[in-house]
Amino acid sequence: MTNSIADFFNYFGEYHDDLLIMVAQHLQIVLTVLAISIIIAVPLSLVLYQSQLLSSIVLAILGALYAIPSLAFFAILIPICGLGMPTAVTVLVVYVQFILVRNTLAGFKSVDASILEAGRGMGLSKLQLFVKVQLPLALPSLLGGLRLAVIATIGMTTIAASIGAGGLGTLLFDGLRMDYAVKIVWGTVLAFLLSWAANRILLIFERRSLKKSRGELKTAIRN
């Protein structure tokens, strides 16, 4: 089917409400996945940080799961979780764990041991050392991992539409099925805009935290 530039704008004028609903569905899935993933990844990373052997084993497992094609992963879980959002969220949480855990561990391991030792020498408790020293210094890597996880999740959520989870992927699959370029382009453009906006916002926080960790911004934490 041949489409003109006018068709793209006409489609938005006629179906902008539907497009906004799909964007909202997409964001709902992304935010749900990220919330669950962070709740799991941070404590898991703190546990793995204590053991090099355990962290290597867990990262290898998460890496193997991450390598499974998403459509195949969906197919495996559909008999257990059914079609729709539950399966989509479960699969995406598993994928995101690899990104978050790897970057969180890298952030904690990047903190100079001499700095931690100096903190202990000043009488800081484990909690104070973590909150005042370790976490601020590791934060740039943590935010970098979060940024990658957000972008990856926005992209992979489009595929989740293939199992009835909704979101912008619905436009893409409908457009492919109907050979209707307008839907394909709108789905692609809106998914790109979400990724671009998320990347720019998180990059600001990541750079700011990096400056703080380098002492370029004056910060002080007082009880």
List of residues 6+ apart from 153 with CB closer than 8 A: 30, 33, 34, 92, 95, 96
The Cα angle at residue 66 between residues 185 and 187, in degrees rounded to 5: 10
Other C-beta atoms closer than 10 Å to the C-beta of 219 total 10
Locate the domains of the chain by residue range. 18-214
DSSP state of 68: S
**If we measure between CA atoms, which residue out of 177, 200, 196 comes closest to residue 188?**
196
CATH number of 18-214: 1.10.3720.10
Q: What pTM value is reported for the model?
A: 0.84
Q: What is the pLDDT along the chain (223 residues), one digit of tens a residue?
A: 456 678 778 888 888 898 999 999 999 999 999 999 999 998 999 889 888 899 999 999 999 999 888 888 888 888 888 888 889 999 999 999 999 999 989 888 887 777 777 777 787 777 777 777 778 888 888 899 999 999 999 999 999 888 888 889 999 999 888 888 889 989 999 999 999 999 999 999 888 888 877 664 444 334 4
Q: Answer yes or no: are the C-beta atoms of 191 and 168 closer than 8 Å.
A: yes
